[in-house]
Structure 1
């Protein structure tokens, strides 16, 4: 089947798998899925609700990499939906190459089924990682400044992080609603923690 990736036409003989993933700022994959489904109507589209910067904790991506075989291709909307550092990007591309499959970055019109596509992808990966590192540096600088000014409170503790406190308060006779209000967490979370303690 001939497919136009925007800058060139490549022949694909296998299946097309599309991968959509949320980002730190956008927790909805609807736009990605709509674009990919329109461009590749025959594809299997799988989404991931994980905004981590590495491959860890991305079971659907690992499943796709297991399912893909020779002649298949993996399509993502943008490079950063697949990998946020060069190590992961290189590893994923290498795994696909070993299977005889290819990677397509839809937004940048990159297809690793071509030599120019591989070279361009590697170049983009370097810039993507550089941008991620700059963002981390800016964030660290902002936190440092906020600490100096006494404005930094740190990340709000999650319910799970306060599980021991929940159980202790309950043991002291405090009700679930009061515990939730005192710790700033949902009442359902309090009940869940208490149920886990008695399971």
Structure 2
């Protein structure tokens, strides 16, 4: 039986260290991490790898339920997939596990709360942007990557992998930038 930790943050500039330290302290043999949105399971390769390799008796451990996902259906589907492999899911904060029937109920409720919280965040964000636009102070989102540097490196013969390492992002992001500059 293995305890497998999963750590996730939504953006590249967020830090995974706090989650990793907690998972190590819980005795996780393996810890997989990624920097990708939890809004859906798309693009979450590390989580998919964990699910694929779960064996009977293994335990998937996350620090908080929203690290698994912010959509109730996705979270419940993940838990179901783990159960189909005779594996368990444990959330550290608050401490809940699928080892008992009450754990299933609590995780379902927590999943619903996480989804509701995500909707509230999006609504507040949308309202704030609309208000800023009305006041004429909305300038749009801040560019996280230097698009000109990406374009210059590409024109200089650098490949997507090399550019991605240089600017600190994924190759997919490089492809998107290059395609948007055409």
Normalising by structure 2, what TM-score?
A: 0.79
Change (3 A) 1:119 1:87: same
Aligned to 2:151: 190
Change (3 A) 1:27 1:156: closer
Out of 17, 20, 33, the position equivalent to 1:47 is 33
* Structure 1 residue 51 displacement after superposition: 3.1
Aligned pairs for 1:37-186 within 5 A: 37-40=24-27, 42-156=28-142, 185=146
The question of whether the paired residues in 2 share the 8 Å contact of 1:17 and 1:44 is answered with: yes
Change (3 A) 1:121 1:52: closer
Distance (Å, rounded) in 2 between the aligned partners of 1:54 and 1:97: 20
- RMSD over aligned Cα atoms: 2.1
Normalising by structure 1, what TM-score?
A: 0.73
Counterpart secondary structure, 2:150: helix
Distance (Å, rounded) in 2 between the aligned partners of 1:128 and 1:33: 21
Distance (Å, rounded) in 2 between the aligned partners of 1:128 and 1:96: 20
Instruction: Give unpaired runs (5+ residues) of structure 1.
Output: 1-13, 160-184
The structure whose Rg is larger is: 1
* Structure 1 residue 26 displacement after superposition: 6.9
Aligned to 1:19: 6
The question of whether the paired residues in 2 share the 8 Å contact of 1:23 and 1:81 is answered with: no
Distance (Å, rounded) in 1 between the aligned partners of 2:61 and 2:18: 15
2:21 is the counterpart of 1:34: yes
* Structure 1 residue 142 displacement after superposition: 0.5
Distance (Å, rounded) in 1 between the aligned partners of 2:105 and 2:150: 49
Distance (Å, rounded) in 2 between the aligned partners of 1:76 and 1:57: 18
Change (3 A) 1:191 1:52: farther
Counterpart secondary structure, 1:113: coil
Distance (Å, rounded) in 1 between the aligned partners of 2:126 and 2:82: 35
Instruction: Give unpaired runs (5+ residues) of structure 2.
Output: 160-177
Counterpart secondary structure, 1:51: coil
